[in-house]
Structure 1
Amino acid sequence: MQENQLYFLMVAEELNITRAAQKAFISQQCMSNHIKRLEEAYSTRLFNRRPKLSLTPAGELLAQTLRQIKRLEDNLRSQLSEENFNFGGKINLGITWSRSSILLPPVLTQYRKLYPNIEIIVQNNVTDNLENRLLCGYLDLAVGTGAINSPEIEVKPLSRERVFLAVSDHLLEQLFPGGYPACKERFRSGVDLADFAACPFILNTPQERFFDLLTDMLDQQGLKLNVVFQSDSSDIRSQLCGADLGASLFSELLLQYVIRQNKLQPADNQLNIYPVNGEFPDYWMIAFYHKKAFQPQYLKVFIEMLAEQAKRCCACAEGR
């Protein structure tokens, strides 16, 4: 594809020339000039400039066509790499922030030994944005959570995850002064969130799919938590728990951050991890890719490694 066509797809995705220019590492004026030359080449207007930037019908048609061309070119490149992966190949991987630091270091170390010439480019974002970038052709593979609704996307479940509560010894003692420390053993079989109505909570942000799961779960039980902090970083939430600022809820894989934090906690103020009682919707970590994209063997192996690492992490959390 021509350079100005690739730049057009960036602007079509962002619908903001400044952000697209920043991603392309060029000036805003340079990006505008590329779009102008493309409009002159096709003798049509591709974007509405007011009231805000949007694609014209001609722009929509061009974006759809160029995405198909890009996918064909990417498929060809992947198939050629499949024939001779010793020469090289590339995986554009999208993954959520918290999961990337848990899954990728061990997987990439192992993968590099098998495929030393395959380049992996990692982009971090929330699942909804990863889905959009995949459909636009900027990703070969994405790893996120929840359901994918687009009929153009193929989904491979990696691991089903339960919900756990993390709460410090000091906070438990404050919440249950007459029942501490006996409550620690009692909660090992599971906690009811209704018993933690007075507890401050540190939760995910609304942009994350886990937040939707928690909202549905709480609505079903008619509960409202006392939320004092929100963060999209599992690492930060576990640290705030360790500072006795509140309890938090984690999906199973992300308990790795709590386990890490416990290594830094004093012996008399560990973070306790308890399964949460109740009926919850299925919550899956998934790998997903475009149905029309060619899947080289080196990409299939990478997905298998991700699934195995997810299983190991969840088993480690189970036997914490």
Structure 2
Amino acid sequence: MKQSFKIFMTVAEELSIVKAAKRSFVTQQCVSDHIKRLEEEYGVLLFNRKPHLSLTEAGEVMFQYLRSTKILESNMERTLQEMSADRKGSFTVGLSTSRAQIILPLVLPKYYELFPEVEVSFYVNDTVILEKCLMDGSIDLFLGVNASHNPAFHTMPIISDKIQLIISEHLFQQHFGSKMLSEFYSGVDLTAFSGVPFSLYYETGAMNVIIRQHLSDCGISLEKTPYHISDCDTHILLCSSGLCAALIPKMLSLRVHEHNAKCSPGQRIHIFPVKSFHYPLRVELIWHKNITQPFYVKVFCELIDEAANQLMKK
């Protein structure tokens, strides 16, 4: 990509000549000259200068095309590198903190045996943020939950996850005593738990959306929700302390099983399926539709698929 295009993209991202100059290690005058030449070359105004710097409609079009070009160039470089260097290369994967902690220990030992020369970087965030990162080319693919149906994305389905309720033995005894335990193992109606304190998720998270939808559709009100956390492991730790119950994906319940294997009966965490929870929890690997993934990325995806399905059987 020629220098003028690179500088244009930097200005479009920063919407500041000063910041773009600093990022590009050039003078402000140099940045202005590059933008002016592009506007003269294409005969359009790319930026509104007043009342503050912003992209024009033509500028938006150029920015979207150049962003796609940048991603294609990056893919071409990786593919050519693979052809010339056998099993060497690099790529960046996005995923949530909780899934990283559960899946990567299962995947990376096997992957390293196959591709010791491949560098893999991981970027941790919620799906809605990872979608934006994929679009701007800062990651190559991501493991997402209920990602948007973007026509620019290629989607590889991994699993359809399920929601489970977790509650400590101590908190369960406080609210239910010894009754209902065997019945709840076959499924719970969240109405019965309306007075139990719960930890919930951040508004941006996919889990928050489907849980709120279920509560709304079923007319259920959870009266005490003092904590809002994005990390599933923290939900489990709070639950184990007896502070609150939580709703977690089955795929991430490994930590609960590990806790129960080590604790005394009085510290056990119960896991109950949730009745009438029909909202999809799609776990998918997603990358750009026009990208041809190198062999070492394809194998990584296969190992993720294998590990996720293994977790669902536990």
> Is the shorter-chain TM-score for this pair beyond 0.5, marking a shared fold?
yes
What's 1:204 paired with? 201
What's 1:195 paired with? 192
8 Å Cα contact 1:145-1:209 kept in structure 2: yes
Report the CA distance shift for 1:158/1:8 in structure 2 as closer, same or farther (over 3 A): farther
Distance 2:18 2:209 in 1: 31
8 Å Cα contact 2:46-2:58 kept in structure 1: yes
Distance 1:59 1:113 in 2: 46
For residue 213 of structure 1, the aligned residue among 192, 196, 210 is: 210
Post-superposition offset of 1:141: 1.0
Distance 1:14 1:267 in 2: 56
Are residues 1:156 and 2:156 paired?
Answer: yes
Q: Where do 5+ consecutive residues of structure 1 fail to align?
A: none
Q: Which moved more, 1:234-243 or 1:36-45?
A: 36-45
Q: For 1:244, what is the secondary structure of its paired residue?
A: coil
Q: Which moved more, 1:66-75 or 1:290-299?
A: 66-75
What's 1:82 paired with? 82
Report the CA distance shift for 1:113/1:236 in structure 2 as closer, same or farther (over 3 A): same
Distance 1:17 1:270 in 2: 58
Q: Deviations over 1:183-221 (max 9, x none)?
A: 322211111101101101101111101111111111121
Distance 2:51 2:262 in 1: 52
Q: Deviations over 1:57-112 (max 9, x none)?
A: 34313312322321331232132133245362121211122211111222122111
Report the CA distance shift for 1:272/1:278 in structure 2 as closer, same or farther (over 3 A): same
- TM-score when scaled to structure 1? 0.85
Equivalence map 1:1-12=2 (5 Å): 1=1, 5-6=5-6, 8-9=8-9, 12=12
Post-superposition offset of 1:311: 0.9
Equivalence map 1:17-166=2 (5 Å): 35-36=31-32, 38-43=34-39, 46-48=46-48, 54-86=54-86, 88-166=88-166
8 Å Cα contact 1:201-1:225 kept in structure 2: yes
Report the CA distance shift for 1:98/1:31 in structure 2 as closer, same or farther (over 3 A): farther
8 Å Cα contact 1:127-1:209 kept in structure 2: yes
Number of residue pairs the alignment of both structures matches: 309
Q: For 2:63, what is the secondary structure of its paired residue?
A: helix
Q: Deviations over 1:125-144 (max 9, x none)?
A: 21112112212222221111
What's 1:312 paired with? 310
Q: For 1:105, what is the secondary structure of its paired residue?
A: helix
Report the CA distance shift for 1:135/1:77 in structure 2 as closer, same or farther (over 3 A): same
Equivalence map 1:270-285=2 (5 Å): 270-285=268-283
Post-superposition offset of 1:32: 6.6
Letter of the structure 2 residue corresponding to residue 252 of structure 1: K
In our comparison, the structure showing a higher alpha carbon Rg is 2
Post-superposition offset of 1:150: 1.2
Are residues 1:256 and 2:269 paired?
Answer: no
8 Å Cα contact 2:145-2:283 kept in structure 1: yes
- TM-score when scaled to structure 2? 0.86
Are residues 1:223 and 2:214 paired?
Answer: no
Letter of the structure 2 residue corresponding to residue 42 of structure 1: L
Distance 2:20 2:299 in 1: 33
Distance 2:264 2:75 in 1: 53
Percentage of pairs with the same residue: 32
Report the CA distance shift for 1:198/1:33 in structure 2 as closer, same or farther (over 3 A): farther
Q: Which moved more, 1:70-79 or 1:205-214?
A: 70-79
Letter of the structure 1 residue corresponding to residue 234 of structure 2: I
The CA RMSD over aligned residues, in Å, is 2.9
Distance 1:52 1:261 in 2: 55
Distance 1:197 1:47 in 2: 53
Report the CA distance shift for 1:49/1:222 in structure 2 as closer, same or farther (over 3 A): farther
Q: Deviations over 1:243-301 (max 9, x none)?
A: 21110000111212333444665441211111111141221100011111112222111
8 Å Cα contact 2:103-2:304 kept in structure 1: yes
Distance 1:127 1:63 in 2: 23
Distance 1:210 1:182 in 2: 29
Report the CA distance shift for 1:70/1:194 in structure 2 as closer, same or farther (over 3 A): same
Report the CA distance shift for 1:220/1:181 in structure 2 as closer, same or farther (over 3 A): same
